[in-house]
Structure 1
Amino acid sequence: MSNEPITLTAGDAAATVRPDLGGRVAGLRVGGTELLRQGDRFGCFPMVPWCGRTREGRFRTGAVLHQLPLNAPPHAIHGTARDAAWTTARVTADEAVLTYDLVDPWPYSGRVTQVIALAPEALTLTMAVETYDDSFPAQIGWHPWFQRNLGGAGVRLDFSPAWQEERGDDHLPTGKRTDPGPGPWDDCFGMPGGVDVTLTWPGRLELSVTSPEKWVVIYDEQEAAVCVEPQTGPPDGLNTSPRLVTPLEPLEASTTWRWRGLRAD
């Protein structure tokens, strides 16, 4: 199948999927209101085969040291798949299945499959990394850019993490866990019971971001948008919390966004 843009619909919700632009959800409209920041860099892109920053672009597999391109010097950031064209495997009215084959500069072969499923009141994203060759460490995550304001209503974030990863001057976790502090944030938090973050635009919409994973990065330092990024490990996780993809065991993750309209007071 081609990798042309895809429109999914369910009830009064519509999602635009761009296989040609990193396999991202480029838009999500609920009742005609766009929830995601628009632009080729925004929407919601998959982070794979790593999430956030990898220190100096380096990670080890056993005794082998690998070097990734430094696309956010001095680090490598957000994986390679967001910069590539994905292949459309299957499309229905409310679901799209996309695939992406890992290639150079990632040093291992493998396949990523992403399922985007839209319902009238929810969007579920599922991703898996598999290999039939050598085993390798990997991470999965999503990087949505939610609009900070909807029709004049500014967003409020509510979540109760168990800890915050202390952030060093290089924007990477130091390895120390601290009590969660006030924003603004470009920080990773631990939620052992699963990610659960609520975004509320008073009088407009409430949206929950949930995931069985226990890590979430919150980024709200920009005026136009806020990011709530569930992922399978913290930044630099290829080095500090590696999850192994093997021929017998793929790496899998999912996240669901569920929304409901709010009446103005």
Structure 2
Amino acid sequence: MSNEDITLTAGDAEVAVRPGNGGRIGSLRIAGTELLRQGDRFGCFPMVPWCGRIRDGRFVNGVTVHQMPLNSPPHAIHGTARDGAWGTARVTKDEASLTYDLVEPWPYPARVTEVVGLTEDSLTLTMSVETYDSSFPAQIGWHPWFNRNLGGEDVRVDFTPAWQEERGEDHLPTGNRIDPEPGPWDDCFGMPGGVDVTLTWPGQLELKVTSREEWVVVYDEQEAAVCVEPQTGPPNGLNTLPRLVTPLEPLEASTTWRWLRL
């Protein structure tokens, strides 16, 4: 299995996949226009085996307490897989399948698989976490950095969540659900019918981020980019809303970005 960069093409869409840099999507170009913020930490990276922050880096599985490294003190953030080199299982002109085996500091053996599929007007990312050993809580999510500006007006972010998770001073949900508030945001929202967020660069492009999952974090406090992050649970969800991966039941999720030129 190689971890060299991969280029996928379909029509005038081109995607750069970087297995060696955390399995991230390094670039998405539509008719030559780059949609993702460039740089080793940006693009779009997979959040697995957890999304967002874990309070104090600690989570519980049954009676066992696990401590993750505090890579965003005082919390642990965005999982471990974005820091590793992924392998490439299969590549065609418009699809790539990547794998990553979870290792220390994550305490449970498991394999993550992601399929990146490109068409002329969409990109679909599908991820799974499988184990043949013990059961454990996990999350799957994606963290794209979309360029705020593509050379015209700034992007507009439109969505209609059912609720917003109230954010505490520690940046984690308090457990209270509140009516959605205006941005700027670094907040988690509930969309029980599935994530559905539209980004519009006026006069240029409309891009719709969808997922069957019901949680999305929207982050737009940075000047260069905005983030729309579908995920299988809220931040700190390993503790507050655990989804168990078991030898019989993997955790699976997907998101699709579909675009239209204006």
TM-score, normalization by structure 2: 1.00
Aligned to 1:63: 63
1:154 aligned onto 2:154: yes
Q: Aligned residue pairs: how many?
A: 262
In structure 1, the partner of 2:124 is 124
Q: Secondary structure at the match of 1:16?
A: strand
Structure 2 spans left out of the alignment, 5+ residues: none
What letter corresponds to residue 192 of structure 2 in structure 1? P
Deviations 1:214-242 (A, max 9, x none): 00000000000000000000000000000
In the TM superposition, what whole-angstrom CA distance separates every residue of 1:168-211 from its partner, at most 9, and x where no partner exists?
00000000000000000000000000000000000000000000
TM-superposed deviation, 1:2: 1.2
Contact 2:56 2:76 in 1 (8 A): yes
Corresponding residue number in structure 1 for 2:7: 7
Shift >2 Å, 4+ stretches: none
What do residues 8-44 of structure 1 show as CA deviations (whole Å, max 9, x unaligned)? 0000000000000000000000000000000000000
- Return the letter of the residue paired with 1:261: R
TM-score by length of 1: 0.99
Partner of 2:207: 207
Alignment of 1:25-104 (within 5 A): 25-104=25-104
| CA–CA distance in structure 1, aligned partners of residues 66 and 259 of structure 2 | 41
Q: Deviations over 1:81-112 (max 9, x none)?
A: 00000000000000000000010000000000
For the residues of structure 1 that align with 2:107 and 2:209, how far apart are their CA atoms?
A: 32
- How far apart, in 1, do the equivalents of 2:51 and 2:181 lie? 22
Q: Paired residue for 2:233?
A: 233
Whichever residue aligns with residue 196 of structure 1, its letter is D
Partners of 1:2 and 1:49 in 2: how far apart?
22
Q: How far apart in 1 are the matches of 2:91 and 2:125?
A: 14
2:259 maps to which residue?
A: 259
Q: Which residue of structure 1 lines up, in the alignment, with residue 169 of structure 2?
A: 169
Q: Percent identity?
A: 79
Return the offset for 1:153: 2.1
- SS of match in other structure, 2:216: strand
What's 2:217 paired with? 217
User: What is the SS of the residue equivalent to 2:20?
Assistant: helix
Mapped partners of 1:153, 1:96: distance in 2: 33
- Structure 2 letter corresponding to 1:40: D
CA distance in 2, matches of 1:2, 1:134: 29
